[in-house]
């Protein structure tokens, strides 16, 4: 780490690792110039860390010119002016730490409104930015047809013991393939547009702050998967992570509850920024967005479990199986809202 600190010209007082996110490693570093967030980019998953760097810098420059007051995680420059460091086979980048806190579970619908408003504002701010100029940091990231195909492959080629034990979950997810057809119809529709999309709008990717006694969303973070995409990805992941009273790690499925008021709040919050941007056809797919993302996440977790956790990793035996079952239960509860 010392060599990284030197490249940024930091005199470091303390640093510690934050245990958030499944993919990258994140540290908070306290220096003589203030606090920074330092991250390694997982280049086994993000094969081209330079693409992420390009995208964040492109958006950063656009916002600095067109919306200088918008709070954004501008990348920190090294003493040589670089925003991405390659060092001993790892990639590093840093941001100034923004004042605020992240939540992993929402307590009330006000927070759901605030979070959705921030994600809506993000896309809205960039509505005149040409999304097609962004690099694709993860090809087919939210391509449900591909995710389904990968799931089928894992059922064919994965660990046979795990496949046997997961029989019920496998047949449930197979029986819900209609979501894939619906997704295909959605993306092919002429009223559907690709915009600058965050693609990881889980609740912990919004920062909150108390302002005059009111809890406000202040900005969105974690822009690695920011690329052209569909609004369904962002709404969907909010539904997936904001409506439930427990996280995707919860193994006791009886504890899961889904809150209809929070669903309303997500819709209101997002539309407070995005109403005029979305077509009627897109607006009609608000509920489907949640089904799409919860279903996809269940597929992804189960696929990884059957493939011996090669993507997400697992700290405990069967962790991705627990997550998959959790998401299946969440999907059932979500559908009951309708
Ligand atoms: C991963 O690393 P993190 O927690 O930001 C994943 C998301 C999943 C999420 C599930 C690049 O995000 O797609 O929704 O885990 N990111 C990638 O917790 O695969
Ligand atoms: Mg992420």
What separation in Å is there between the alpha carbon of 265 and the centre of ligand 1?
A: 23
Angle at 240 between CA 236 and CA 245, to 5 degrees: 150
192 and 141 share one domain: yes
pLDDT band at 231 (very low <50, low <70, confident <90, very high): very high
Does residue 22 carry a pLDDT above 80? no
200 lines ligand 1 (CB under 6 A): yes
* Average confidence score pLDDT of the chain: 96
* Domain edge (last residue) among 37, 66, 97: 97
> What CA–CA distance (Å, rounded) separates 36 from 27?
8
Which range is least confidently modeled, 20-24, 46-50, 228-232, 325-329? 20-24
> What CA–CA distance (Å, rounded) separates 200 from 37?
18
Domain tally, the chain? 2
What separation in Å is there between the alpha carbon of 210 and the centre of ligand 1?
A: 27
Show the domain range for 61. Answer: 2-97
Under 8 Å between Cβ of 114 and 206: yes
131 and 92 share one domain: no
Q: What is the pLDDT of residue 104?
A: 87
pLDDT in tens, 185-224: 999 999 999 999 999 999 999 999 999 999 999 999 999 9
For position 91, which CATH number holds?
Answer: 3.30.200.20
280 and 133 share one domain: yes
Helix axes 109-125, 260-274, angle to 10 degrees: 30
> What CA–CA distance (Å, rounded) separates 198 from 98?
18
Is residue 279 domain-resident? yes
Q: What is the pLDDT of residue 14?
A: 97
Q: What is the pLDDT of residue 19?
A: 81
Atom 8, ligand 1: residue with shortest CA distance: 200
Is residue 291 domain-resident? yes
**19, 202, 246, 305: residue to mutate for ligand 1 pocket, most atoms within 8 A of CB:** 202
Atom 9, ligand 1: residue with shortest CA distance: 22
């Amino acid at each position: 780490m010392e060599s990284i600190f030197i490249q940024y010209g930091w005199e470091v007082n303390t640093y510690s690792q934050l245990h958030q996110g499944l993919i990258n490693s994140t540290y908070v570093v306290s220096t003589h110039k203030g606090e920074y967030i330092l991250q390694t980019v997982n280049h086994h998953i993000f094969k081209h860390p330079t693409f992420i760097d390009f995208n964040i810098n492109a958006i950063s420059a656009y916002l600095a010119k067109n919306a200088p007051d918008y709070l954004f995680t501008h990348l920190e420059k090294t003493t040589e002016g670089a925003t991405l460091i390659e060092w001993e086979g790892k990639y590093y980048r840093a941001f100034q730490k923004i004042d605020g806190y992240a939540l992993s579970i929402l307590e009330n619908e006000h927070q759901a409104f605030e979070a959705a408003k921030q994600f809506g504002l993000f896309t809205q701010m960039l509505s005149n930015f040409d999304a097609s100029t962004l690099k694709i940091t993860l090809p087919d990231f939210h391509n449900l047809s591909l995710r389904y195909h990968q799931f089928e492959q894992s059922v064919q080629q994965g660990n046979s013991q795990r496949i046997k034990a997961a029989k019920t979950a496998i047949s449930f997810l197979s029986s819900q393939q209609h979501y894939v057809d619906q997704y295909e119809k959605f993306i092919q529709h002429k009223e559907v547009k690709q915009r600058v999309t965050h693609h990881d709008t889980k609740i912990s990717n919004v920062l909150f702050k108390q302002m005059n006694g009111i809890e406000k969303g202040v900005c969105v973070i974690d822009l690695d998967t920011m690329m052209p995409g569909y609004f369904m990805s962002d709404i969907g992941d909010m539904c997936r992570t904001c409506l439930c009273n427990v996280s995707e790690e919860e193994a006791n499925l009886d504890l899961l509850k889904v809150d209809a008021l929070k669903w309303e709040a997500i819709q209101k919050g997002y539309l407070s920024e995005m109403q005029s941007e979305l077509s009627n056809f897109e607006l009609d797919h608000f509920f489907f967005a949640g089904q799409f993302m919860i279903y996809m996440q269940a597929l992804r977790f189960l696929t990884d479990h059957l493939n011996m956790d090669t993507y997400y990793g697992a700290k405990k035996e069967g962790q991705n199986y627990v997550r998959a079952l959790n998401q299946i239960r969440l999907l059932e509860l979500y559908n009951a809202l309708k």
